[in-house]
Chain A
Amino acid sequence: AQTVTQSQPEMSVQEAETVTLSCTYDTSESDYYLFWYKQPPSRQMILVIRQEAYKQQNATENRFSVNFQKAAKSFSLKISDSQLGDAAMYFCAYRSARGGSQGNLIFGKGTKLSVKP
């Protein structure tokens, strides 16, 4: 079974600085998708960024980028120029590309990010 591990329960960053959140996963599959979700205090789950495992190029969305290391099964999130609105829980998630009954997301336990003004 696949597992997702986020080893940093809490992180803190100064406004305008850069922070990296770690995520590792375990799978025997070669084709899958990886996601980072943000959950602010409102608890709404917001997709931040996604990565297809067969793509070597790291995904980027504005101030958010990932460092995807397939061999190491590592998928870290870098937030540049941190803003107060980035403060939230961040969840790393895995999804099999097999489809069918494998459609669900597998989440890590999350990292709580605080942004200091």
Chain B
Amino acid sequence: NAGVMQNPRHLVRRRGQEARLRCSPMKGHSHVYWYRQLPEEGLKFMVYLQKENIIDESGMPKERFSAEFPKEGPSILRIQQVVRGDSAAYFCASSPPGQGWIYNEQFFGPGTRLTVL
């Protein structure tokens, strides 16, 4: 069973461009979380999605950021008109539906390091 996959691993954008980060959860997982890690910081929650639904976007900046998790295909985190402050590592995590421990463990992808020039 392949782990959580994220691509690209590294992404370089110039100010004003768009960044699209992809996350393919583990097989059978229908819950996806996005986190952002600034240099020398811990991970900060951004958004929690289930298939075709945004459950909690309380950590997402109000402008320029959006996320989706369609019925088919990976989850996408989209950043429009990137600025230098968006440079960070973006992690995706997934968990399966249901109750119990396995529901509460989140499995992380390797992250996408975004650099804005």
B43 contacts A105, C-beta separation under 8 Å: yes
A95 contacts B48, C-beta separation under 8 Å: no
CA distance A109 to B38 in the complex (A): 10
Given the known interface contacts A43-B89, A44-B108, the answer about A104 and B45 at a Cβ–Cβ threshold of 8 Å is yes
B-contact 0/1 string along A74-117, CB 8 Å cutoff:
00000000000000000100010101111111111110000000
Q: Which of B33, B41, B108 contacts A103 (CB 8 A)?
A: B33
Q: Which B residues are in CB contact (< 8 Å) with A101?
A: 48, 55-56, 58
B42 contacts A109, C-beta separation under 8 Å: yes
Min Cβ gap A38→B in Å is 11
A-contact 0/1 string along B90-116, CB 8 Å cutoff:
010101000001011111101101000
B108 contacts A45, C-beta separation under 8 Å: yes
Q: Which B residues are in CB contact (< 8 Å) with A47?
A: 105, 107
Q: How many B residues are at the interface, by size bracket?
A: 20 to 34
Min Cβ gap B75→A in Å is 14
B31 contacts A104, C-beta separation under 8 Å: no
Is A42 an interface position by the 8 A CB rule? yes
Is B44 an interface position by the 8 A CB rule? yes
B104 contacts A33, C-beta separation under 8 Å: yes
A-B contact pairs, 20 of them (CB 8 A): A37-B108, A42-B110, A43-B89, A43-B110, A45-B91, A45-B93, A45-B111, A50-B101, A91-B42, A99-B103, A102-B56, A103-B48, A103-B95, A105-B33, A105-B35, A105-B43, A105-B93, A107-B42, A108-B42, A109-B41
Q: A107-B42, A110-B42 are in contact. List 5 more A-B contacts (CB 8 A).
A: A101-B58, A105-B43, A105-B106, A106-B45, A107-B43
Q: Which residues does B use to contact A, with CB under 8 Å?
A: 31, 33, 35, 40-45, 48, 55-56, 58-59, 89, 91, 93, 95, 101, 103-108, 110-111, 113
Which 5 A-B residue pairs are closest in the complex by CB-CB distance?
Answer: A107-B42, A45-B108, A104-B45, A101-B56, A109-B42
